[in-house]
Amino acid sequence: MSCVEPIRKLKDLRKVESILSKNPRDLLFFTIGTNCGLRISDILALNVEDVKGKNYIQIIEKKTGKFKKFPINAKLKPMLENFTKNKPLDDPLFMTKFKNRLGRVTAYYTIKDACNQAKLEDKFGTHNEKNFRVSSL
pLDDT digit string (tens) for 85-135?
999 999 999 999 999 999 999 998 999 899 999 998 665 655 544 433 333
Report pTM: 0.83
pLDDT, position 126: 53
Give the residue among 42, 43, 108 at the shortest CA–CA distance from 76.
43
High-pLDDT (> 90) share of the chain, %:
70
pLDDT, tens digit, for every residue of 9-24? 889 899 999 999 999 9
SS (H, E, C) the chain: CCCCECCCCHHHHHHHHHHHCCCHHHHHHHHHHHHHCCCHHHHHCCEHHHCCCCCEEEEECCCCCCEEEEECCCCHHHHHHHHHCCCCCCCECCECCCCCECCHHHHHHHHHHHHHHCCCCCCECCCCHHHHHHHCC
CATH number listed for the domain at residues 10-135 = 1.10.443.10
Residue-level pLDDT at 134: 36
